Structure 1
Amino acid sequence: MSDDETQIRGLITRWAEAVHRGDLDGVAAAHTEDVVLFDVPPPHDGVRGIAAYRKVWPPFFTWQAQGACFEIDSLEVTAGTDVAFAHALLRCGTPAELAEHPTRRLRLTIGARKEDGRWLIAHEHHSFPHG
């Protein structure tokens, strides 16, 4: 695994841990100012920019406080010299939801770019399979 892949893996792991803790500053850290997010809940045309990105998380944290988990199950990273992508599957749900659908995973795709020698997340896409 290259040093860049290791750095990106660490960045995504820290992001997921911040999501699980409900730490908005930690979630928004290491994102570009022009980040684009396509998320499960509306708006379905996505959110653009770090300010809009920060606004989508508090309702999720409220839901998650009911005892839901948010943890990486698998993560693959491919890194070039200044752009990279990653895809992951995450366990995301309340205990009741996970009991009803034990194999259901949140799908995560991330696009990253290197700015001033530092990897930042420029794009996120979260989705669940239908059914």
Structure 2
Amino acid sequence: MNAIKAVLESWQQAVVDENLDNIMRHYSDDVVSFDAIKALQIVGKNNYAEHWKYCMGLCPGGVIMEIHELAIYEAEKVAFCHYLLRCGSVQDFGKENAGWMRATVCLQLEQGQWKIVHEHFSSPFDPETGKAIFDAQP
């Protein structure tokens, strides 16, 4: 479990640092993402890198990415995790624009290294209005 936690912490720091190369080194070449932003699904590391560029462009003052309530389930060559994610950006004058999301991450052991093979980020939504609920609290 410590190895999985280390991968997620390293990924989190790479996102906060907005270091695309370091972010992408955590993913399998065949990653499939169900991201909460824009696309229904993103398949492949190169496509996901383009998506990450877009997302980081939405955060001109800096990225907020905090993992909370992490649960890890690990087997010999696969693992999955779920957690609550506080994410967003720092806006003008240091004001935060962040909300809570849910995350599920699946990893696979590839040549001795844990790689993310699937990622799913989502926000709850109000079915009556169709609007995402970003101010939900854990």
Please indicate the TM-score interval, normalised by the length of the shorter structure. Answer: 0.7 to 0.9
Amino acid at match of 2:67: I
For residue 128 of structure 2, what is the aligned residue in structure 1? none
Amino acid at match of 1:58: K
| 2:27 is equivalent to residue 31 of structure 1 | yes
Amino acid at match of 1:38: F
| 2:104 is equivalent to residue 112 of structure 1 | no
Amino acid at match of 2:44: G
Aligned residues: 121
1:42 CA displacement: 2.1
For residue 40 of structure 1, what is the aligned residue in structure 2? 36
For residue 2 of structure 2, what is the aligned residue in structure 1? 6
Structure with more of its chain in helix, by fraction: 1
**Higher mean C-alpha displacement, 13-22 vs 64-73:** 64-73
Long gaps (5+) in structure 2: 90-94, 126-132, 134-138
- 1:1-131 matches, cutoff 5 A: 5-44=1-40, 46-94=41-89, 95-98=95-98, 104-130=99-125, 131=133
1:85 CA displacement: 0.1
For residue 101 of structure 1, what is the aligned residue in structure 2? none
Task: Please give the secondary structure, in 1, of the residue aligned with 2:58.
Answer: helix
CA RMSD of aligned residues (A): 1.5
Conserved in 1, the CA contact under 8 Å of 2:56 and 2:63?
Answer: no
Conserved in 1, the CA contact under 8 Å of 2:18 and 2:63?
Answer: no
The percentage of aligned residue pairs carrying the same residue is: 31
1:60 CA displacement: 1.4
Structure 1 runs (4+) greater than 4 angstroms displaced: none
Normalising by structure 2, we get a TM-score of 0.80
